[in-house]
Amino acid sequence: MSVDTSARTVMERCEILASYSEEPDRLTRRFATRAMQQVNETVMAWMHAAGMTVEQDNIGNLIGRYEASHAGAKTLLLGSHLDTVRDAGKYDGPLGVMVALACVERLFARQKRLPFAIEVLAFADEEGLRYNNAYLGSKFMTGTLDPKVLHLTDTKGITMAEAIRSFGGNPDPDTLQIARWRQDELLGYCEVHIEQGPVLEARNLPVGVVTAISGQNRLSVSFTGEAGHAGTVPMSLRHDALCAAAEFVLSVETLAGSLPGVVATVGQVTVQPGASNVIPGKVVLSLDVRHQDNAVRELASDQLEELAREICDTRGVSLGWQLLQEHKTIPCAPGLTRLLEQAIEEMGYPLLSLPSGAGHDGVTLSELTNIAMLFVRCRDGISHNPAESVTVEDVDVALNVLERFVLLYSV
Ligand code: GLV
Ligand code: MN
Ligand code: MN
């Protein structure tokens, strides 16, 4: 199959962006870091060359705007995020921005203007790695960022407000609740993203349309016991915070496994004081709970809290249970989704609809406009892992589908 050069360019650009990392041997690009500034500068240059005006907003999102054929027209939003998880792959986020950019590049090359403007959005933080708070970029754009998050600190004690300032932004709490657009100025938001799961590969399909984005809870759970001497405190008299946390981690796995469709993950653990000859006094861990059905997610979360309390009571340890973020399941809009399906069908591919277990910026954008998502097959369904891989052939299909989607919208 012949592949257009613009799909090759997308792949090359994902490689280039992956070279901007905070760590020498692996890809980690957190919010408001030098690595983020480097990718922003790089993407900004590509956007300019594609005929867009470009702006970096007050928390570091990039907005590339390709003007409409006439003044006063509405705006269609495309895009994804440029931050990554720790030790990330190259495609989660950047692929969606690069495909959207390539789509505009194709229009610009033909000097084609549409009856609406296109804004390519490159969000500064979707993963929430630095402040354990997801969707910062899209929340800022939609005016839904809670000013309280400005006081959150990263592992070095730097507040979010300080990070934004040192990135050249302005963390003015009074502006946080002003959306970038009015609802009636927008036509919708469409994001291309790797599937991050194995379904498309199993069905031998390059792309699929997303039905809904699963809801999720992010929590911080703390176990406070009593630090003590590892050589002198008998086992029966200990209140070891790590033993309580370990028991909880295993019960998360068991409980989630017993509720069909529930996924629950403990991905971060800190142990204090953290010495080999000191009984752990305090453990703080992250908990991520997801399900398509909001009621099931809430039930799972409640049951996990009950389990944690039982474990703590038995062990004489006290529990801290803090819900950091809660997002409901968000359905994709039937009208926009139908256009993606039409584009896929015109290209002769079978249609496959699938839900997204991963979170995406569309969750936040949906507060302001209709959303749609196109998934691209990835190898072995692997993501949040440096082994993330997509083929240029599949990227070519995704780019053609997105371009066709945009053109279908304009007729
Ligand atoms: C983002 O990748 C998430 O689903 O947590
Ligand atoms: Mn991700
Ligand atoms: Mn992503």
Give per-residue pLDDT as tens, 174-205: 888 899 999 999 999 999 999 999 999 999 99
* Ligand 1 touching residue 361 (CB < 6 A): no
In 3D space, the residue among 99, 97, 77, 105 whose CA is nearest the CA of residue 36 turns out to be: 97
Distance from the alpha carbon of residue 387 to the mean position of ligand 2, in angstroms: 14
The per-residue DSSP string of 320-369 comes to EEEEEEEE--EEPPHHHHHHHHHHHHHTTPPP-EEEESS--THHHHTTTS
* Ligand 1 touching residue 127 (CB < 6 A): yes
- What is the rounded CA–CA span in Å between residue 298 and residue 289? 9
- What is the rounded CA–CA span in Å between residue 258 and residue 77? 40
Regions of the chain with pLDDT less than 50: none
CA distance readout (Å), 301 to 221, 256, 378, 408: 12, 10, 30, 42
**Bridge-partner residues for 291, per DSSP?**
215
From the CA of 359, give the closest atom in ligand 1. Answer: 4
At residue 57, the pLDDT reads: 96
Q: Which two tokens stand for residue 135?
A: 């969707």
- What is the rounded CA–CA span in Å between residue 385 and residue 87? 6
The backbone torsions φ and ψ at residue 225, rounded to the nearest 5 degrees and listed phi first, read: -110, -130
From the CA of 127, give the closest atom in ligand 1. Answer: 1
Ligand 1 probe mutation, 80, 81, 127, 388, most atoms within 8 A of CB: 127
From the CA of 290, give the closest atom in ligand 1. Answer: 4
Q: Which two tokens stand for residue 397?
A: 């299909």
Q: Which two tokens stand for residue 376?
A: 């691209």
Instruction: Report the largest interatomic distance among the alpha carbons of the chain, rounded to a whole angstrom.
Output: 79
pTM: 0.94
Tell me if 17 sits within 8 A of 43, measured CB to CB: yes
DSSP 229: E
At residue 1, the pLDDT reads: 67
- What is the rounded CA–CA span in Å between residue 187 and residue 200? 28
Tell me the average pLDDT of the chain: 97
At residue 410, the pLDDT reads: 85
* Ligand 1 touching residue 359 (CB < 6 A): yes
In 3D space, the residue among 80, 104, 115, 172 whose CA is nearest the CA of residue 363 turns out to be: 80
Ligand 1 probe mutation, 288, 289, 360, most atoms within 8 A of CB: 360
**Bridge-partner residues for 62, per DSSP?**
56, 122
The length of the chain in residues reads: 411
Instruction: Give the three-class secondary structure for 282.
Output: strand
